[in-house]
Each structure stands twice: as structure tokens, then as C-alpha cells.
Structure 1
């Protein structure tokens, strides 16, 4: 990667940041045009020859850590207009059974042409929230108070489930996610989202923010509005 600048002094600060990542063994994020990202280390540099004393050109060696580039697609918001109670509905007559809560049908769009990684935010209040996309059910067996939410990550970089309480307390609830028999089993909480349009069914009165990720082995330049790395 080549950097050219008219303010060579700024390169010192940049070099310090690069070295700090390596020393901490914590990669930074390399972003192309604010769209495609990958974790990376900058591990070496060499000063290029330029004819102007106030102009610098530096060639950096970059180690890409993930093997693929990722781009977050626009967040899809799902808030049922008709809220269920999350519990059974009592019939006016004294029968030995009642009605199950209604389910709200919505639609998820995955335009990538392949199964997509995703992250989701599930908003409380709800108890054991579950939703179905296509043939797979995603369920987390926790109670979420009003003002709280679940953060679910199902990407190649991270598989995690965290609960944020209404007071801001953060808990790791990874073991509360239903994983069934694993991917393809129909009840895997980290199952990729199918390509195309899929029916989303929410059983309860909670909202979901769903972010899908496009993944590519190389930066697809045709998708960029400009070709400016950052």
C-alpha cells in the first residue's frame, strides 16, 4: 500500500498507531471507500524517492487477517405493528386450552446471491425471543426487560450473544442460544440468512434490527462509488 502526503509529519503518528496494533496483537480495520473492511496489520514500510522536500511517499507492507472482505448492507428494521403478549390468549369460555399468541409475518431481503452472515439486535421486553427466517428458527432463552436488548453476532469473525440490561449491565449469554444439531438442522441460532427474499415470522411483541454482510475474496471495485482506500 502506497501513501503520498504533503504533510510528512503526520506519518509519525500513523506509524505509531500501526506499531501499537502489532505490539498489542490486535489488528486494525482496513476500509476501502467506507464500504469493504478487513482486519489487518501494517508490518513494515519503506520511504520512496520523490523530487519535492515537502512531499513524502511511503510503501507499507500489509498483512490481511481475515482472508475475505466484508461489507455491511443497510440495516433492516422489523417492528411488528400489532404487538402480541408473548403468552397465551385467554378464551371467554372455560375451556381446557387457550389460544397461542399471534405471529407477525414480515420479509427479509438478502440481495447478495448467497447465504449471508448477519448480526441482530433484539429489543425487549420479551421472554425467550424466537423468530424464524425461511426454514430456520433463531431462539435465545433469556428474559429481556423493557429498555434492554440482545446483541447476536453470526459472522465469520465472531459468534456471540450478549444481553444488555436496561441499566446498561452487559452479560455473556452465549449458552442461551439454541444451536440444535448445528447448521442446516432447522434450529441453529447462527444459521446464515438464505439468499433472496425469505419470510420472517416473529412470535411476540419484540423488534429486530437485522444487518446482513456481503463477503468477497477480493474487493469488488464495481460496487464502489469511488476507488479511494482509507
Structure 2
């Protein structure tokens, strides 16, 4: 059985649709299709437009717990709708950013302890996302990085596993992935190369500060480059990026070499997208 649940955007409240008083009985979450981008009667590409999904559930409880179970769904959902901030609907390890925009209840007149509820879900970014996280620690001066798992199907002119500040990242997706990169200070003009591509910020991060490069969305207007200072305030670093090498370049599938000075640490979170949730649970 797949774990299916919704996490609200406001207070991270969770509605678990696979544990009583809720239980999934059907829906179309595993269905999906792409919309064609057409010009001059030719298909130029494919995209996914605003999509609506259905999730059929049974709500079953007794007394006040039954009423609370019904109200809880609506309360969590409406907070996100009124704030125009999508929550996350999870199926296994994958999630889609979306809103619960409607419910349709059946048998509410005759049954006092259970009803059927059809939940309407709408998304303007209807992709199912699975995250992969990688941690690259700051290297002490004079140390080397040894990674026994750096194995490649061909030979390099020197042994990468013994080269300082040279690691790899393995993207398990079948296509390039958007990412969030978190760079920790102190450092000056941090530069990271992945698969030969440079991701660089021309700025100074002091001790306790960090920078975030967020390309987790396909929509350019929602992408962010910012610094978070010690007091929690944020500074826009969009104009500090190296414009000669796109900072939004997706991380390619498979194994890629990662290199940096070693003078700072950073994390990378990959956002692997699919048109439908993964059928396999692993």
C-alpha cells in the first residue's frame, strides 16, 4: 500500500489518507498526460498545464471524532487556498505541489459514522518530485578526500579518489534535475563545478551565513538566489551570480564529477521530476 498524505504549507499539518479515520478508496493520482505545444500545425514540444486530480476516500469514526475528521481536512486545505501557497500531496516518496480545492460528500444523510468523500486537487505545477540529498563538507587544509565509491566505467588519466576536494554526485533520474544548493560561509566568491559546469556567486559569506541557489521550479520568476544572514534576514543575490555560466543549469542524469576549493561546505538537493508518481516504492 502506498503512503498517501497531504502536508499543509502553513503549519506543516499532516492529513494521512491511509490511516483511519481516513482511507483511500480510489482516484486518478497515477494517471497523467502531457499537453502539446503547437505552432503552424506542428508539435514544438510538450508541457503539463494546470491539472485537476481526484482522490476518493472513506471517512469513518464515531461521535465527535467523526465531525473533527471532516473539519480537519477542510481547515488544513483552506489555509493553503486562502494564502495561495500550495501544500504537498505525497504518494510514497514523491510529492506534487498542489491545493485541495473542493470536496464532494456522499451518504451524509443516512450514515452517522462514515461517509464517502471525493477530494478535488489542483496544481499549476503538476509534476511528481522525488528529492535526493548530497552533503559536501568543508575540507581541512592539508587533508585529502578518499571515496571508495567513486567507480566509473572507464579510466581517468589520474586517480580521482586521491585528489583533494574532488567528489561525485549521482543523479538517479532519467533526465536533468532542478536543484537547491546551500553554500555555507565563511567564503569569498564560492565556485562549484559539476560535470564541468560552473556555479558561482561573486559575494562574501561570513561565518554563520549561507547562500541558497534555488532552481527547483521550471518557472524562472520563482527561482531564487539569496543570502541568509546571522539574524535571519535575507539578501537578494540575483545580481551576484556569474552570468557567463548559467547558475540554473540542471544537474545531468548519472554520475558527475564535483569539484570546489574545499574552503567551504555545501549541500545539494536534487528535485527529480516525473509526470506520474513512482510506481515502485523504493
TM over 0.5: yes
The yes-or-no answer on 1:57 pairing with 2:121 is: no
Say whether the 8 Å CA contact 1:116–1:192 is kept in structure 2: yes
The whole-number CA distance in structure 2 between the counterparts of 1:24 and 1:6 is: 29
Indicate which of 191, 209, 225 corresponds to 2:267: 209
Shift of 1:196: 1.2
The whole-number CA distance in structure 2 between the counterparts of 1:128 and 1:162 is: 14
Secondary structure of 1:11 counterpart: helix
The whole-number CA distance in structure 2 between the counterparts of 1:79 and 1:70 is: 26
Q: Specify which structure has the bigger relative contact order, considering alpha-carbon pairs within 8 angstroms and separated by 6 or more residues.
A: 1
The answer for unaligned runs of 5 or more in structure 2 is 1-54, 143-162
Say whether the 8 Å CA contact 2:139–2:262 is kept in structure 1: no
The whole-number CA distance in structure 2 between the counterparts of 1:21 and 1:165 is: 28
Indicate which of 178, 184, 192 corresponds to 1:131: 192
The answer for unaligned runs of 5 or more in structure 1 is 85-101, 181-186, 226-230
Say whether the 8 Å CA contact 1:125–1:146 is kept in structure 2: yes
Shift of 1:194: 1.4
Say whether the 8 Å CA contact 2:180–2:214 is kept in structure 1: yes
Match of 1:142 in 2: 203
Mapping of residues 148-159 of structure 1, within 5 Å: 148-156=209-217, 158-159=222-223
Shift of 1:179: 2.9
The whole-number CA distance in structure 1 between the counterparts of 2:177 and 2:193 is: 15
Match of 1:178 in 2: 242
The yes-or-no answer on 1:6 pairing with 2:60 is: yes
1:165-205 deviation per Cα after TM superposition (whole angstroms, max 9, x unaligned): 2333321212211232xxxxxx1111101111111110250
Match of 1:228 in 2: none
| Count of aligned pairs between the two proteins | 199
TM-score by length of 2: 0.65
Match of 2:86 in 1: 27
Secondary structure of 2:249 counterpart: coil
Match of 1:90 in 2: none
Say whether the 8 Å CA contact 1:129–1:204 is kept in structure 2: no
Indicate which of 104, 111, 116 corresponds to 2:177: 116
Shift of 1:44: 2.0
Match of 2:106 in 1: 48
What do you get for the CA RMSD once the two structures are aligned? 2.2
Match of 2:32 in 1: none
The yes-or-no answer on 1:39 pairing with 2:97 is: yes
Match of 1:97 in 2: none
Secondary structure of 1:218 counterpart: coil
Shift of 1:52: 4.5
The yes-or-no answer on 1:15 pairing with 2:15 is: no
The whole-number CA distance in structure 1 between the counterparts of 2:164 and 2:234 is: 29
Say whether the 8 Å CA contact 2:128–2:277 is kept in structure 1: yes
| Displaced runs of 4 or more, over 6 A | none
The whole-number CA distance in structure 1 between the counterparts of 2:233 and 2:81 is: 31
TM-score by length of 1: 0.78
**Residues 161 and 103 from structure 1, CA distance in 2 versus in 1: closer, same or farther, beyond 3 angstroms?**
farther
